[in-house]
Amino acid sequence: MISTSNKFLALTFIVAAIFISCHDSALQPETTAKIYQAGKCNGTALFKSAQDDSCFVYSFSNVLTIDFCVNGNCCPDSNRFTSSYTLNNNEITIKVKDTAPNLCKCMCRYTIHSEFNDLKLESYRVICISETNDENKVLYSKLVQRKL
């Protein structure tokens, strides 16, 4: 026969095991992100095969903040882009798509601003993709590291 104190110990152990196993997923907040077009046209887009490295800037301490450039038609020059992201282990993929009408015969360089909160790891591979109807073009693939 099991004594009352042994039952209490067994029950305490089971409850503690449940709390420990749920600790990571239940108590830590989920990663959230804000991604949007920051401002209007930043000058005429220069058509190069590769984007300038200076057009990918980040800071990462508590929040990962990323600004990067993408080309789009000059007008209208506000609210041109929709965006989405995926987080898979240590890889963040940011996709932007130009959804506004192309009303002018000129191209502009636009800045996409993103903020990621509650990231768990110390470094991530960030991949920025421009989506079009017929292809996805990788604009940037950068390793970002948390600064202490």
Q: Nearest-CA neighbor of 80 among 102, 98, 107?
A: 98
pTM recorded for the entire structure: 0.74
| Helix, strand, coil fractions of the chain, as percent rounded to 5 | 20, 45, 35
- DSSP H or E run through 40: none
Q: Nearest-CA neighbor of 126 among 82, 83, 68?
A: 68
- Residue ranges of alpha helices (H) inside 1-117 are 4-27
Q: What is the pLDDT along the chain (148 residues), one digit of tens a residue?
A: 556 555 544 444 444 444 444 444 455 678 889 999 998 888 766 555 444 557 999 999 999 999 999 998 888 877 889 999 999 999 999 999 998 888 888 888 999 999 999 999 999 999 999 998 778 999 999 999 999 7
Model pLDDT, residue 5: 55
Burial of 127 (0-12, 13-18, 19+ CB in 10 A): middle
Model pLDDT, residue 4: 57
In the sheet where 81-88 sits, what is the strand order?
81-88, 91-98, 123-131, 136-145
Q: Nearest-CA neighbor of 94 among 117, 125, 59, 61?
A: 125
Model pLDDT, residue 78: 79
